[in-house]
Chains A and B, each alone.
Chain A
């Protein structure tokens, strides 16, 4: 594809463009502003979810104690005398999971970095549709407000876990949170899905159509490949979640029976007949599994960029990286059944899901090995971003290997829904994605806020976070192996678990440390927005196009002329070059090979 013409028409009002406060900061259509709106919202939501997790970790570790802080934060209704009630315990677990999975690591992560980097790195003046882009943020924000607000309603938030399996989520009689709380959850998620779809379509179209001259697909930075494939996954799978939720709404308000049958609750047999709760799980996980890759792929994309730039070395195996992104995306649609091995599914079907699930480990392993090889013989520069990226590779490995255990249906029988699963997915997805997202913030802060974050505070933030992260989740494997189920309000109903309680305590101590460490980040972030050192044009010596724009933000990103791309994004420390980086805009020297085109030494 060639785009020589489209762009000369685009640089309309690049400079003389007066904007009011409202159109610049609130209803902005500029991708850079929308990225920052997503980021700040996500940071706020992450903070809320972190507070929730600290509270429920306190409860599960010391179920017999009373904590003044709980009464202080949750009030008499939920924590009379400082003792947390089971309603709010399950409610917080549910909202914590929903916020982090959807609002922070899907909306927040993609929303921030796809908006910031897609136009910048493909060399476009903005998103294909700035209006849709703005709408996607507003749907996201309203969804976020409703989700968080649902914690404060009298009957409490939705509480059946983030996977909201019916009938528990369908019947208000089943638990208090399944009334109003669940209604709000469903409204919020519907808005969220609309946001994700608007955003995803926009990302796809922008990457496919608005690449600048010379930016062929095989010259795209891996960040863009990751964000593109993520958007495609989202557009294909979120509608399925939407329909799952709609059917649930029908069951709840119209008396249909998609998911319900033969139920006696609260002293009455219900009229619902013929539905299957398992149908919901199929629909949910048909989204739910791609969803976990929707979270991790952008993270891997950011890591690719950060690791390559700061090793001053090309990313190893660019084409294998693109290939594994594509294979992971394809496979991620045919593995959902591994969440349902013990629902009574046909054993043959189970075998098929074992097969596909274990296969997905291969492209994942290739990615991990390629990151490690990128470090090999590099000249590593430990910016805070680089530390976070390396940490994310470590957690991706550590959490990935336990996936292989869970993928083995025979082993999953005894591990499903225990803390082993909690450890697996928090390490492989939660930690990797959060660490990579932090890395992304440190790395692209100068492009977002035109200032630099503090390095020393960044180091402190990383090391404390990394230590705490493993400290919280690694011990939880052992709880799972001892047969402790997840989503228990207290383990004290089972005397047999009594001598495991210090694992819970250990985990909670690290959770407190980790939460405390985030204040270093919050401070650094907000302080640097206003008082950080002024950024320079290309502080990290990167090749990608975002660092060729002027230091200050201008509407349309580049001046008169859009950049023209001559090479792939990874010419770091190329032999014969004067500097250890060659931006993508530098023409090839006579006789020089472009690696991105498929030529290789």
Chain B
């Protein structure tokens, strides 16, 4: 019934539109004179004013967005290099912000000011000016050279091989979850091989490699110590994933068949971040919204997200990151079972181990 009615309305409105068109055509024929497509002075004036109205509204919209959302963006960087990235971002943003506002403003203003009318009916024949063109080639050129210089400097600092003492660990991706592996006491990751992958050994760890005996494998969340350089090795066993840790301004692809790297020094512990006023404010908002949906409240956590499309559940491939004070971290890590311990446990009690690994999976 409703469908029928829908169709009826649809057909009737088509008929109505056709009638209206006919009337419109007749009317314009009777009016005679100028064809409708010719632009009149009042058209020009209307659109010129619209340019200003639009320009003002557009900037108002941009600034409103900026002020409404600036506290909802990422909190201050929780890593050392991230602070440099944030500085560079603000620096570049200031420059492009000026260009964005100035160029658009001039564009809308000229479009308004020079609309054709009886008063303004003779355009100026102005074909080129080497001076002007030189100015707007050289000035952007100089500014961009500064941007390039600072950009490359920061980039080189971030990507230079890890210097000094660092803690090696691996982030291993597969459809659709993450595994973190610590290198353990020797700070060396044991070998792994995709041909060794089984249900009970989802990373394909080479259990004969002595370096791997003290490795520690964790799921769901991993801890890192504040103030220590973490040297991540990244891998994937199926498709490309990307380890994205926005709070640390860190991202690196995980590519099957190769090992990629990224290192950073976390500088703000999870507890410290949870106490920051902007984080508290945001989490209050988030929890209010969750409560409305009938979901339990959450606490702030650093996140590892997948940021390279990797299949159907790409949108839900996450791990929490906990930044501990060094002492806390040592305590936590000492409680984790090493790979070696897990194996010996499994030889003692096979079924128990299977159950545990299956759970982890």
Residues of A within 8 A of B (CB): 64, 86-87, 90, 160-161, 165-168, 171, 174-176, 260-265, 269, 275-278, 311-314, 316-320, 342-344, 347, 350-351, 354-355, 358-359, 361-362, 365-366, 368-373, 375-383, 387, 390, 393-394, 397-398, 401-402, 404-405, 407-411, 413-414, 416-418, 452-456, 459, 463, 466-467, 470-471, 474-475, 478, 481-483, 485, 487-491, 493-496, 498-501, 503, 527, 531, 533, 539, 570, 572-575, 580, 595, 600-601
Contact = CB atoms under 8 A, between A and B. Distances in A.
B210 interface: no
Contact of A316 (B85, B128, B289): B128
Ordered nearest first, which 5 A-B pairs have the shortest CB separation?
A: A483-B246, A261-B257, A344-B260, A347-B159, A382-B47
Contacts of A498: 285-286, 289-290
Contacts of A601: 127
Which size bracket describes the interface of B in this complex?
35 or more
A313 B122 CA distance: 9
Contact of A354 (B46, B51, B155, B251): B155
A456 B28 CA distance: 13
A205 B244 CA distance: 48
Please indicate which of the listed interface residues B47, B104, B309 has the most CB atoms of chain A within 10 Å of its own CB: B309
A381 B39 contact: yes
Contact of B239 (A167, A354, A411, A575): A167
B151 A378 contact: no
Given A380-B111, A411-B88, A365 B238 contact: no
A262 B175 CA distance: 15
A397 B105 CA distance: 11
B332 interface: no
B50 interface: yes
B306 to A, nearest CB: 8
B148 interface: yes
Interface of B: 21, 25, 35-37, 39, 43-44, 46-48, 50-51, 54, 58, 61-62, 65, 69, 72-74, 82, 84-85, 88-89, 92-93, 95-96, 99-100, 103-104, 106-108, 110-111, 114-117, 120-129, 132-133, 136-137, 140-141, 144, 147-148, 151-152, 154-156, 158-160, 175, 194-195, 197, 204, 234, 237-240, 242, 244, 246-247, 249-253, 255-258, 260-261, 282, 285-286, 289-290, 293, 295, 298, 300-301, 303, 305-316, 318
Contact of B147 (A174, A358, A496, A539): A358
Given A358-B147, A379-B123, A86 B240 contact: no
Contact of B96 (A359, A402, A417, A595): A402
Contacts of A531: 21, 25
A358 to B, nearest CB: 5
A501 B259 CA distance: 35
B237 to A, nearest CB: 5
Contact of B285 (A167, A171, A410, A499): A499
A523 to B, nearest CB: 8
B39 A489 contact: no
Contacts of B195: 264, 269
A392 to B, nearest CB: 11
A314 B125 contact: yes
A381 B238 contact: no
Please indicate which of the listed interface residues A343, A404, A531 has the most CB atoms of chain B within 10 Å of its own CB: A404
Contact of A495 (B121, B136, B286, B309): B286
Contact of A600 (B95, B107, B127): B127
A78 B144 CA distance: 48
30 contacts: A165-B309, A171-B238, A261-B257, A276-B255, A278-B255, A317-B128, A317-B129, A320-B128, A344-B260, A347-B159, A358-B144, A361-B144, A366-B137, A382-B43, A382-B47, A397-B104, A401-B96, A408-B155, A416-B242, A417-B307, A452-B37, A459-B43, A474-B65, A483-B247, A485-B244, A494-B303, A495-B295, A500-B69, A533-B37, A573-B124
B85 A411 contact: yes
Contacts of B159: 347, 350
B36 A454 contact: yes
